[in-house]
Amino acid sequence: MGTEYNGVAAEQFKVATPPEIKFTKLLIDGRFVDSVSGKTFDTLDPRTGKAITTVAEGDKEDINLAVKAARQAFDHGKWPRMPGSERGRIMLKFADLIDENVEELAKLDSLDAGRLLTSGMYIDIPNCVGMLRYNAGFADKIHGETLKMSREFHAYTLKEPVGVVGIIIPWNVPTTMFCSKVSPALAAGCTMVVKPAEQTPLSALFIAQLAKMAGIPDGVLNVVTGFGPTAGAALCSHMDVDKISFTGSTEVGREVMIAAANSNLKAVSLELGGKSPFIVFDDADVDKAVDLAHMAIFYNKGEICVAGSRVFVQEGIYDEFVRKSAEKAKSWIVGDPFDPLVCQGPQVDKNQFEKILRYIDYGKEDGATLLTGGKACGEKGYYIEPTIFTDVKEDMRIAKDEIFGPVMSLMKFKTVEEAIEKANNTRYGLAAGIVTKDIDVANRVSRSVRAGVVWINCYFAFDNDAPFGGVKMSGFGKDGGLQGLEKYLKTKTVVTPIYNSPWL
């Protein structure tokens, strides 16, 4: 057997150099253009804090142009009017082009977001290809139903594309988030304006070029890079946008809803923050539980909405779990995401880096015990050690707030009832993890925890057919599965009288 790094055979993976940057302008109506203002902004390399390149800075005027193009493409273009099978064929070609550019897209996300290149090449981008192919299969299967009326009427429903969609995506998994929202919207026959996070615009612009190459008509998919308070706000409040699909923080999600309400009452779906519980019972295999818990919080340097940041361990195995967690954390390699030996790359930017370090200080101030980590590492860039706190109380800031970083809060519990109560003691409700060999405990807890998805003896078990989304202050609306498609559709009921029919 050859040596493996992060599950990838060394002979199959070569340490890569950063990619050439090919696209830095806005894509509006099928053309890459400068912003109306001519302004640009730097996108930064989190490994060094230095500029990678300058990107066009779109704002309200550019959003107006992009929405105008999307509206024209929806109201008068061929995308919503072509047979679903033809949309599906183009989407499959789009998927093939992404598949042909896996390495370049993975490199862009490593360079811009600090994602591990191994994760991008072998998980993220292949999954995006799968998303497009999965949703392409829906394109010619969208239909309503015939209704059984109680009077002399014939009635049926139509499933129609919702219209022009504003899509706002976060910076933590840029390509994944782009494809998870664009894929079902395309299948439904919508047109769209995508506003990627200002921290990570590069992969969105590259994918936009692939969409053009695949034959997606001009105006159907527009990409405007820029900042949330300008470009994002203009998109959310635009009177000609029919729906907003947003993934990001709860605080910004609230602003999105306000803008939608104050404009044209457009539909909104929100996938927001989380403070997910990870619950380990006495009968669990401790080694497996430690592995899962570390993956749940340290994967992607903790910059993931479903991070299992609150780890509850039953008292019978708590001490063993703590000891093994400390040992595992000390073997966790932090460094350059282009290096296949590395387990954790840099945080996305200076603001996030400083926020995480600030919360580590809060943990110490509030009386938690720092078990491992707790410091920045490296001479440059935004690297932070994997950090574990014990003796954490539920009212501490590190236990209540979404940190979005590699910080685990370890807590002890006695009974199943206590575990359920502690798990639900949060304003969030995105995900939860359970580790137990007892099916009765698994069933009871999974039904009692208020979360949008519950993983039993696994974590991050995402799949194209599995709807994903939160409850409480983690938002509403689902990505994935048939529910992920339906949020880009609207139902219309059509009724016509019938005369002298032998039956109703």
268 close to 257: Cβ distance less than 8 angstroms:
yes
- What is the 8-class DSSP label of residue 58? B
Instruction: With H, G, I as helix, E, B as strand and everything else as coil, classify residue 229.
Output: helix
Model pTM?
0.95
67 close to 240: Cβ distance less than 8 angstroms:
yes
14 pLDDT above the threshold of 80 = no
| Terminal alpha carbon distance of the chain | 70
| Measured torsion, CA atoms of residues 423, 426, 429, 433, in degrees rounded to the nearest 10 | -30
1 pLDDT above the threshold of 50 = no
Averaged pLDDT, 340-357: 97
Determine the pLDDT at residue 4. 43
As a whole-number percent, the residues of the chain with pLDDT over 90 amount to: 95
The C-alpha atoms of residue 149 and residue 280 are separated, in whole angstroms, by 52
Q: How confident is the model at residue 16 (pLDDT cuts 50, 70, 90)?
A: low
168-210 pLDDT tens trace: 999 999 999 999 999 999 999 999 999 999 999 999 999 999 9
Q: Which of 11, 104, 255, 271 is catalytic?
A: 271
Please indicate whether residue 20 is annotated as part of the active site: no
Q: How far is CA 307 from its chain centroid?
A: 12
133-146 pLDDT tens trace: 999 999 999 999 99
3 pLDDT above the threshold of 70 = no
Averaged pLDDT, 388-411: 98
Amino acid at residue number 308: G
Determine the pLDDT at residue 335. 96
Q: What are the residues facing 247 on neighbouring strands?
A: 271
**What CA–CA distances, in Å, run from 326 to 361, 368, 370, 387?**
19, 15, 10, 9
**What CA–CA distances, in Å, run from 407 to 100, 310, 398?**
36, 9, 8
The C-alpha atoms of residue 407 and residue 385 are separated, in whole angstroms, by 9
